[in-house]
């Protein structure tokens, strides 16, 4: 039974490493599209909606790559996944996005403040 569990751990690590190595560049690609739309005046969305769209497309793109939809060779089987928390600190605000069973906390002194809520699977 230990061999079975060890076998699947390899895929969890592989997915986590793929996300670590790819998510920032996928986000940069989406932000380039947003910047191009801002420059040509075609975007009418507010800042929050633009961040939402960029992260949504970024996460979907990486999810497709992991599942093999964007390429012929999937990174891992569809039964394997990962969670992610991203925080981007700007001069006037912090953008926090999470997906999965994870959340971001900001600690001020001894008081933690939730910046996001973890997603729980309901069956």
pLDDT tier at 43, thresholds 50, 70, 90: low
- Quick one: average pLDDT of 106-122? 84
Torsion sign (Cα): 70, 74, 78, 79: negative
Residue 72 has pLDDT above 70, yes or no: no
* Residue 66 contacts residue 75 (beta carbons within 8 Å): yes
Quote the pTM value: 0.72
Maximum CA extent, the chain? 59
59 vs 80: CA distance, rounded Å: 15
List, in sequence order, every residue forming a beta bridge with 85; answer none if it has no partner: 98
Residue 1 has pLDDT above 50, yes or no: no
Residue 79 has pLDDT above 70, yes or no: no
What is the structure's pLDDT at 75?
57
- Quick one: average pLDDT of 49-62? 91
Instruction: Choose from 11-20, 69-78, 102-111, 113-122 the range with maximum mean pLDDT.
Output: 102-111
Which stretch of DSSP H or E encloses residue 30?
helix 2-40
Residue 83 has pLDDT above 60, yes or no: yes
Tell which residue, 60, 50, 108, 51, has the closest CA to residue 84: 60
68 vs 106, residue with greater confidence = 106
């Amino acid at each position: 039974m230990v061999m079975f569990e060890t076998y699947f751990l390899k895929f969890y690590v592989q997915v986590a490493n793929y996300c670590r190595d790819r998510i920032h560049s996928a986000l940069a690609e989406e932000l380039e599209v947003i910047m191009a739309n801002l420059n040509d005046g075609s975007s009418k969305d507010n800042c929050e909606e633009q961040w939402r769209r960029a992260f949504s497309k970024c996460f979907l793109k990486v999810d497709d790559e992991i599942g093999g939809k964007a390429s012929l060779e999937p990174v891992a089987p569809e039964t394997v996944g990962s969670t992610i928390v991203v925080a981007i600190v700007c001069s006037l605000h912090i953008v926090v996005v999470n997906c999965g069973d994870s959340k971001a906390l900001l600690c001020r002194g001894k008081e933690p403040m939730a910046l996001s809520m973890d997603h729980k699977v309901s069956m």
